Amino acid sequence: MSLTIDRDRLMGEIEALALISEAEPPVVTRVVFTPSDLKARAWMRARCQEAGLSVREDAVGNTFGRWNGSDPSAPAVGTGSHIDAIPNAGKYDGVVGVLGGLEAIRALQQSGFRPRHSIELLIFTSEEPTRFGIGCLGSRLLSGTLSAASARKLSDNDSATLDEVRRKAGFAGELEQVKLPQGYYKAFVELHIEQGPLLERQRIPLGIVTKIAAPASLRVSIEGSGGHAGGVLMTDRRDALCAAAELVLAIENAARTSGAIDTVATVGICDVFPGAVNSIPSRVRLTVDIRDTDLQRRDLVMQMIEAACRSISAKREVSVHSELVNADAPADCAPTIIETLSQSCRKHELPFVPMVSRAYHDTLFMARLAPVAMLFIPCRNGYSHRPDEYASPEDIVRGTLVLAETLAALSK
């Protein structure tokens, strides 16, 4: 079987999709269920239909484009990613896995290959947490990690519920119908930019993911006592921001001292009230993101953070309350799929390296349903989630070729 990846078509489609945005180029912004997101979905449906795929959408907007195999009763082989983009993002995150997946299927079609297992392109709804505050919304529902009842409680910044927003966008049906049955997929493989600098630094064109780190998220509220910046003596203060600053450093220290480089912790939001230059902060809200490939180690870091909350509360005479938003389990990639990816790399004499995905992706949740793996390509300077995000055409084509051969091997 000889495969040809149409570089010009693939890169042209990446550029075309990038123009469907709420912002001027080179910025890409596509928040789920906004007009730009719905327009991008329609554009992708048309591309799938042009490729002869049968297309369906579920109640939350996950989109499936299926190339039917010779055995319709056999589980499908899946690939795909997402096309939603956070504000002020770039054109490659998620998109490489979607359009690369489509091009892989077209290359197989044009080669004369005929799969026994259907090959399905899956475009996930809302991998980014921008609108509803939770990442991988579509894959969480597909895998049953998030229940329909919990999903109904989600709302956006305008207090519109997920049900209201999705129905207005044209996605009917009940959320209970989204979950896929066990055995729906034989395997799932996602192509993605690394979103880190390691492949570029090592000058290695491909990374085969062996483990996907999982996040735990906390909301922390600190209540102190406000007052006039000139009128309250330092000895009498219960400054919520000073307590928050101490907690932020404790969170950093907990991750740094875990004993593993795969442990990371981030305070991404610090909301200070009342936010006046001459007023002592009386209330602070923090968001905390803790990730690791080892569940026990990550949970130990969380315990250290809780202990720091108690200690700082007592020492500074402030109230510290933490709320667990989510705590997902890491995933191991399937050795059989890792080996299939590796064989394709060796066949084409493409250097590759086993690696960990420290960002989490929809594949993390698909691992609850089927054997999974991920294939990374380099991105310049490791940049992602910003307009100067970049992956070279050569790297995208290489990743798409390896993906296509892997899908063929898995679908026989």
The residue whose two tokens read 């740094």 is 256
Cβ contact 5:28 at 8 Å:
no
Same domain, 221 and 361: no
Cβ contact 249:355 at 8 Å:
no
* Three-class DSSP labels, 195-214: CCCHHHHHCCCEEEEEEECE
Which of 327, 359, 384 is a domain's end point? 327
Residue 315, exposed/middle/buried by CB under 10 A (0-12, 13-18, 19+)? exposed
Which of 303, 327, 351 is a domain's end point? 327
Same domain, 322 and 352: no
Same domain, 134 and 267: no
Same domain, 322 and 370: no
What stretch of H or E contains 228?
A: strand 227-228
What is residue 197's predicted lDDT score, i.e. its pLDDT? 96
270: Cβ contacts below 8 Å, ≥ 6 apart? 244, 248, 284, 285, 286
Same domain, 248 and 259: yes
Q: How many angstroms separate the Cα of 11 from the Cα of each of 52, 92, 96, 329, 393?
A: 20, 10, 10, 35, 7
Backbone angles phi, psi at 340, to 5 degrees: -65, -45
Structural domain harbouring 322? 215-327
276: Cβ contacts below 8 Å, ≥ 6 apart? none
Could you tell me if residue 220 is inside a domain?
yes
Could you tell me if residue 334 is inside a domain?
yes
201: Cβ contacts below 8 Å, ≥ 6 apart? none
Q: Is the peptide bond before 330 cis (omega within 30 degrees of 0)?
A: no
C-alpha 285/C-alpha 255 separation (Å) is 20
Could you tell me if residue 320 is inside a domain?
yes
Structure tokens at 169: 């966008």
Structure tokens at 279: 């007023």
Q: Which parts of the chain register pLDDT below 70?
A: none
Which of 327, 354, 376 is a domain's end point? 327
Residue 116 neighbours by CB distance under 10 Å? 11
Chain centroid to CA 342: how far?
A: 24
Q: How many angstroms separate the Cα of 367 from the Cα of each of 128, 324, 330?
A: 18, 23, 9
C-alpha 58/C-alpha 173 separation (Å) is 8
Backbone angles phi, psi at 357, to 5 degrees: -90, 110
Could you tell me if residue 1 is inside a domain?
no
State the CATH number of the domain containing residue 281. Answer: 3.30.70.360
Same domain, 338 and 318: no
Same domain, 334 and 193: yes
| DSSP assignment string, 68-129 | --S-TTSPEEEEEEE--EEEEE-S-TTHHHHHHHHHHHHHHHHHT---SS-EEEEEES--S-
Tally of domains in the chain = 2
C-alpha 229/C-alpha 248 separation (Å) is 23
Could you tell me if residue 310 is inside a domain?
yes
Same domain, 89 and 103: yes
396: Cβ contacts below 8 Å, ≥ 6 apart? 10, 11, 14, 96, 100, 377
Same domain, 204 and 337: yes
End-to-end CA distance of the chain: 13
What is residue 1's predicted lDDT score, i.e. its pLDDT? 80
Same domain, 252 and 386: no
Same domain, 274 and 157: no
Could you tell me if residue 158 is inside a domain?
yes
Cβ contact 148:176 at 8 Å:
yes
Same domain, 241 and 225: yes
Could you tell me if residue 129 is inside a domain?
yes
State the CATH number of the domain containing residue 46. Answer: 3.40.630.10
Could you tell me if residue 22 is inside a domain?
yes
